[in-house]
Structure 1
Amino acid sequence: MIHGDITYTDEALRQNQLSVVFEDKELAKETLENVRTFIKSNNTVYLSTHTPEGLTSLKNNTIMKL
């Protein structure tokens, strides 16, 4: 999953924290919850945008666990 800037890091996703950049905070929260719901229901390789963890996850096919 390429998530845009919902969260910048895997840990932020695990902690249910938004990134610091969004135009509509309520919509961003809703989108974050949709992403988390999807990941909980589907094996997902999550690609963080601001950490090397995303590249490692892609290379190793690491499934995100929440």
Structure 2
Amino acid sequence: MTRRDPQLHIRVPEEVKAWLEKNARENERTLNGEAVFQLKQGMERKENEPNRPPNENPGFF
């Protein structure tokens, strides 16, 4: 199966990569699959949180 999803090449700190690799193994996902899963989870959390000022940054998501 060939996927035509857009590609994104990013640099991450070593500890983030290690965390993603650990979670990917535990969840039986590829590293890419785990990264996409975690990003989508963050998107959902942000969409479901109460309104806050646009410049307020609570952390990673």
TM-score w.r.t. length of structure 2? 0.38
Q: Which of the pair is proportionally richer in helix?
A: 2
Q: Which has the higher contact order (CA 8 A, sep 6+)?
A: 1
TM-score w.r.t. length of structure 1? 0.35
Instruction: Name the larger-Rg structure.
Output: 2
